Structures are given as structure tokens and as C-alpha cells.
Homo-oligomer: A and B are copies of this chain.
Amino acid sequence: MDMKNDRFFGVLIPVLTPFRRDYEPDLPTFLSFCRSLLEEGANGLAVFGTTSEANSLSLRERRTLLGALVEDGLDPKLLLPGTGAAAIPDAVELTRAAVEAGAGGVLMLPPFYYKGVSDDGLFRNFAEIIERVGESRLRVYLYHIPPVAQVPITLGLVERLLKVYPQQVAGMKDSGGDWKNTQAFLDAFARGGFDVFPGAETFLLQGMRHGGAGCISATANVNPAAIARLYDTWTAAGADAQQTRLDEIRGIFAKFPMIPALKAAVAHWSGEEAWRTVRPPLVALTGEQSAALVSQLEQAKFTMPGLRQ
């Protein structure tokens, strides 16, 4: 199993959630896609993240998908499900379900409805969830994604949480896209056993050189093997060239709405048109956008060899 000291490391993937055309989760396709990502070299699956449209899913849907993965024989220690919610009872229910399923950890959004909330309020939120779940084996990774959640995870908040819950507070995902912020967290906490994952492979190499733990990246859904290879060989010659190539591919996806673009690429290379479906309020790429995306990816000699459908 790909874990050192029961901690996540390497390339974790916020797995896309396939929907049928009626917006219901497509369970067989989800299971098959998860397996293919692990076969391609993913070190773990951060299911139910932002890229997974997890906040467009009900609690029951998330619990059903999690249960199906474990029942399907996937090692639960490789799972880092998203369990943050606007309401404490919801976060507690999802987190408890993840721990009971044996998940290696949970990736926890701050409560994201109210804006401008204080670190004091956020501390109480996370403390209340950890206390109510009441499990020493719980491992919480805090999820900093200010462009979406708008509510940040600050250095001061992490410091306070680590003081009271040094065992349960295990790390973070930094999806702020600001290297200076990632570096500040690495400098402050990485040597103390708090693992910092940049929220994109953009900062994979830079992160590893500063004590990072890997990355948790949307584009790892479509480019898992190459990202995992850089993680495995980041100290070797040619690492910078690998990073440049990863940036080139991500840069193409970043020209389009990210989640619909990732789904369009999977649809194209798998031949499964239903993969294009996103739940509202997201909207699938237009035919024109989709053609432009594929054309640019093909020009860059990108393909998805590992897809198994």
C-alpha cells in the first residue's frame, strides 16, 4: 500500500464524478475510472472534491459512492474523501462515514456559506466536528480553496488546531494558486508532520523542493501517469523538463472551464459521450469548445492511454 506512516503522499486525484444524462451518478463508470487512475500511478483518490462536483451531490449520494468503492475492494486507506460542508451536522455525518469505512483521511472544506467569518469561528467549527466524530484514527486535511469557498484556511488557524488536535490534524490542500502562501505553510508546518499538498501539479516540483508532500490536482484526472512520474523522479535530472511538460498540458485545460473540460477530454478518449454531463450550475463545453480543446491537446501530442471503460 502506498502509505508511509499512515500518511498520504504523492499524487492524489480529486476524481471526476460521472453522471448519466439524467444527472444520476454513474456508479459502474465511477468504479472503473477510480481503478484506472490507481493503475496509472495515483497514490490516492481524493474523491468528492471540488472537481468531483461533490457539493452538487447529496449526502446520501456521497455515502453511496463511498460505500460502493469500498465494497468493490478498493483499499480504503487510499481514499481521502471530501467531507466538509456548510453545516456541522453534515460534515460530522460524512466524516464519521469516512472513518468507519476506513478512509486514510478526509479533506475538509471550511463551512462555506457565510463570508468574512473569523478564525475563532472556524476553529470552533473544525473543533466541533473533530470532537463529535470522536475518533483518534481520524486524519483531517484542511482544504484551502479561496477562489471557490471564499473562506480561507490561515496560518493562525492551523497553528491553533495543531495545538489542540495534533493527531487528527494531518495536513492541507492549498488550492489558492499562490506559491507564496503554499511556501508559508511549508515553512511553518512541514517539518512538524503537517503535510502540505499544493492544489495543482503546477507547484509539484517547487513544492517537493520545499518539503511538500506531493499534489492534489484536478488535471491528474486526465494526466495521472505523467504527474506521478514527476513525483517519483523529482530528484532526478530532467525533472524541470517534466514540470514544463505538465504545465503545458494543464495550460491547455485552463483555457476552458476546468471541470467540463476534463470531462470532455475523458469523453473524447473513452468514447463515452455521457462523460460530458455535469450537474447544474456547471455547464458542459459546447461542441466548438470541445473540438478546440481536443485539437489543442492533440497538437501537444497529449492522449489518455490508461483509460479503461
Contact = CB atoms under 8 A, between A and B. Distances in A.
Contact of A124 (B55, B110, B121, B283): B283
A147 B151 CA distance: 13
Determine the interface band of chain A, counting residues with CB < 8 A from chain B.
Answer: 35 or more
A86 B124 CA distance: 23
A280 interface: yes
B282 A88 contact: no
A280 B56 contact: no
Interface string A206-229: 000000000000000000000000
A55 B86 contact: yes
A270 interface: no
Interface string A92-114: 01000000000000000011111
A298 interface: no
Contact of A281 (B61, B110, B147): B110
Interface in A138-162: 147-151
Contacts of A93: 58
A57 B86 CA distance: 8
A109 B90 CA distance: 19
A128 interface: yes
Contacts of A148: 113-115
B115 A147 contact: yes
Contact of A86 (B56, B121, B128, B283): B56
A88 B279 contact: yes
A136 interface: no
Given A114-B148, A115-B148, A150-B115, A128 B55 contact: no
Interface string A50-61: 100001111111
Interface string A25-56: 00000000000000000000000001000011
A280 B55 contact: no
A86 to B, nearest CB: 4
A128 B23 contact: yes
Contacts of A288: none
A280 B87 contact: no
Contact of A150 (B150, B282, B283): B150
B280 A89 contact: no
A103 to B, nearest CB: 21
A118 B283 contact: yes
B147 A88 contact: no
Contacts of A281: 110-111, 114, 117-118, 121-122, 124-125, 151
A280 B89 CA distance: 11
Across the A-B interface, give the 5 residue pairs with the lowest CB-CB distance, nearest first. A121-B281, A125-B280, A55-B113, A124-B280, A58-B89
Given A58-B90, A87-B279, A121-B281, 5 more contacts: A59-B59, A114-B281, A115-B150, A118-B283, A121-B282
